[in-house]
Amino acid sequence: MQDSFIEQTVTFVKERLQHAESGHDWWHIQRVWNNTKLLLETESADRMVCELTALLHDIADSKFHDGDEEIGPRIAGEFLTRIGVEKEIVEHVQNIILHMSFKASLGKVTFHSKELEVVQDADRLDAIGAIGVARAFNYGGYKNREIYNPDIPVDQHLTKESYKNTQAPTINHFYEKLLLLRDKMNTAAGKKIANSRHQFMESFLQQFYGEWNGER
Ligand code: ADP
Ligand code: NI
């Protein structure tokens, strides 16, 4: 029964994300799902809730729906109810989706659970390391941003409101978000993996500045 819920959800999500932008396409979902399973090897949390949330967490991005933060949880909830998942699990999944985004975490946090910790870590792991670098430059290119501009300070501070409105170069995104994620990890397993991915980004940046300045 449980496996059938997962299978049906995979089919639903793949179908819905067919034309999604590449930052949140099926491959992002698959990586977050894999990260979730990896974390669950050592973290104890409800497997069903974690896996379903990993699969459904980016089903509808509020960015593309006039900032409607409820649309993702609503679509996820309707789907899970339709396939017969019990109410308690449906509501838990919806609560996690609503509260787990980086943007939500900049505001007042009102919901908490072990399962949220696991899936949020799994999602954050996909924003750092080599994949994180690739996703950031992909996003920056999509927005036609400069990769780097030495005249623009990298340490400007962003609020929840200004976060999406900046036209800063992509390197700035490392300082406003990517390099901060390591210290925001919830679980022991997540922290450990984040550590090595963080180090990779540090050495990427070192190499980047070296090449930028024409060093050998
Ligand atoms: P999340 O799915 O974690 O809420 P976003 O929707 O903000 O993240 O971003 C999706 C991907 O695009 C992430 O890998 C993120 O780091 C990257 N991204 C978001 N904003 C920027 C930006 N201003 N510059 C470069 N990359 C960005
Ligand atoms: Ni995500």
- Whether residues 202 and 96 fall in one domain: no
| CATH number of residue 34's parent domain | 1.10.472.50
pLDDT digits (tens, 9 = 90+) for 182-209: 999 999 999 999 999 999 999 999 999 9
Provide the pLDDT for residue 163: 57
Instruction: Out of 70, 104, 122, pick the residue that ends a domain.
Output: 122
What are 31's two structure tokens? Answer: 């990586």
Domain check: are 40 and 118 in the same one? yes
- 207 alpha-carbon distance from chain centroid: 26
11 and 103 in a single domain? The answer is yes
Judged by phi (left if over 0) then psi (alpha if -120 to 50, else beta), residue 213 lies in alpha
**pTM of model > 0.95:** no
Which two three-digit tokens encode residue 166? 């900046």
Q: Which ligand sits closest to the CA of 169? A: 1
Residue type for 18, please? Q
Residues 134 and 81 in one domain: no
Residue 166 shares a structural domain with residue 114? no
Residue pair 35/51 in contact by the 8 Å Cβ criterion: no
142 and 170 share a domain? yes
Same domain, 151 and 166: yes
Closest-lying ligand to the alpha carbon of 123? 2
Report which protein residue has its CA nearest ligand 1's atom 7: 102
Q: Is 139 exposed, middle or buried (0-12, 13-18, 19+ CB in 10 A)?
A: middle
- Asked whether residue 136 falls in the same domain as residue 91, the answer is no
Q: Which residues are near ligand 1 (CB < 6 Å)? A: 23, 101-102, 123, 127, 132, 135-136, 139-140, 170, 173, 177
Give the type of residue at 101: S
- Which protein residue has the closest C-alpha to ligand 1 atom 25? 136
Last residue of a domain, one of 94, 122, 150: 122
Residue 147 Cα, ligand 2 centroid: separation in angstroms? 23
pLDDT, residue 23, reads 82
* HSE-up (13 A, CA, CB side) for residue 110: 6
Domain count for the chain: 2
Q: Are residue 14 and residue 48 in the same domain, yes or no?
A: yes
CA-to-CA distance for 216 and 203, rounded, in angstroms? Answer: 15
pLDDT at position 1 is 77
Mutate to test the pocket of ligand 1, among 65, 99, 101, 139 (most ligand atoms within 8 A of CB): 139
Tell me the C-alpha distance between 198 and 208, whole Å.
15
Q: Are residues 3 and 72 in the same domain?
A: yes
Kindly state whether residues 90 and 133 are assigned to the same domain: no
CATH number of the domain enclosing 149:
1.20.58.1910
Domain boundary residue among 88, 122, 156? 122
| Intervals of the chain under pLDDT 70 | 62-66, 102-103, 105-106, 109, 156-166
Q: What is the DSSP string of 24-91?
A: GSHHHHHHHHHHHHHHHTTS-S-HHHHHHHHHHTTSS-GGGTTT-TTHHHHHHHHHHHHHT--HHHHH
Give the pLDDT of residue 16.
95
Q: In this structure, are 79 and 133 located in the same domain?
A: no
- Per the structure, the complete domain to which residue 155 belongs is given by 127-216
Rounded-to-integer distance, Cα 103 and Cα 153, Å: 22
C-alpha gyration radius of the chain: 18
